[in-house]
Amino acid sequence: MNRISGGGHGQRGFGHKHGGSILSVDYFAYASALRKWNASFKVVFAIISLLLCIILDNIYVSAVVILVMGYLTVVIGGLSFHHYISMMLIPIVFLIFGSIAIAAGFSLEPVGQYQFRVFHLFYIYCSDYSLLRAAELILKALGAVRALYMMTLTTPLGELITVFRKAHVPKVIVELMNMIYRYIFIMMETHSRMKNSAESRLGYVDFRTSCYSFGQVASNLLIVSLKRGNDYYNALESRCYDGELRFLEEEKPVKGKQVVLAAAFVLVLLGIRILTGSC
């Protein structure tokens, strides 16, 4: 199976650069081997996995969801492990910092199983219970995030919009979702090109020059992005856009094997919850 490595140099972060542009999540979705799966099936499967991960409230269930969703996205879908980890870094960092507030506390007296005195002023303390709760929170949230990543990294936006339309999601929400998604990557690509232009002129050679270049890029980013966004809307109108997005729908029937495996996965999660209880 071919890996989705996305050729080009200077690859890093949420997307990667190729010829000076930033490729969106749609790039990985279109290149994924799971794109051949029925979009509605993937959305329902991801949402069920997300809900079970949260509702069952079990550390082993969360771990299984994390492993299975990662396996589907990377091994079956063919996404580069490097890109997958790069995209997971942002939610992981947020989860770690958010869990610190649960795992640790502050006190003027030495309390808890573990404590650390800071500048002889106060104590930072924690316990086995608080550390376990923080770990459960991280795994639960990470399982939910990976379920959503499996959906978005294997399903192009056009197919997702079709699924939402079939689910009778209000049209204005669907339109806004598509527009916001497109404008985000328009702004990212605009920033990438402006930064590359500044770097080619030694705009980041030292701290003072870097501050000046940053200010110039920031001041021009909004103006240039608005202009490109307007060009994007003009392109829609030139293609007879009447306020409703329409995408070519490709027939992708749900296979019986996929349904059986999905049902087995759900039963495994329920079985783990029954056998291990609230862990």
How far apart CA 276 and CA 87 sit, in angstroms, is 31
Residue 236 lies in a domain: yes
What pLDDT shows up at residue 201? Answer: 84
How far apart CA 84 and CA 88 sit, in angstroms, is 6
Residue 178 lies in a domain: yes
Give me the tens of pLDDT residue by residue for the chain, a chain 279 residues long.
444 544 443 333 344 444 334 556 888 888 999 999 999 999 999 999 999 999 998 999 999 999 999 999 999 999 999 889 988 998 998 888 888 888 888 887 777 778 778 887 888 888 888 888 888 899 999 999 999 999 999 998 888 888 988 888 888 888 888 888 878 877 888 888 888 888 888 888 888 888 888 888 888 887 887 887 788 788 878 877 777 777 777 788 889 999 999 999 999 999 999 998 766
- The parent domain of residue 203 ranges over 170-248
How far apart CA 110 and CA 120 sit, in angstroms, is 11
The three-class DSSP label of residue 251 is: coil
Residue 131 lies in a domain: no
How far apart CA 189 and CA 191 sit, in angstroms, is 5
Residue 215 lies in a domain: yes
What pLDDT shows up at residue 215? Answer: 86
Residue 235 lies in a domain: yes
What pLDDT shows up at residue 8? Answer: 40
Residue 179 lies in a domain: yes
Q: pTM score, two decimals?
A: 0.76
Residue 196 lies in a domain: yes
List the Cα angle 215/220/222 in 5-degree steps.
115
What pLDDT shows up at residue 59? Answer: 92
What pLDDT shows up at residue 53? Answer: 93
What's the total number of domains in the chain? 1
What pLDDT shows up at residue 9? Answer: 36
Residue 128 lies in a domain: no
Q: Which amino acid type is present at position 193? A: R
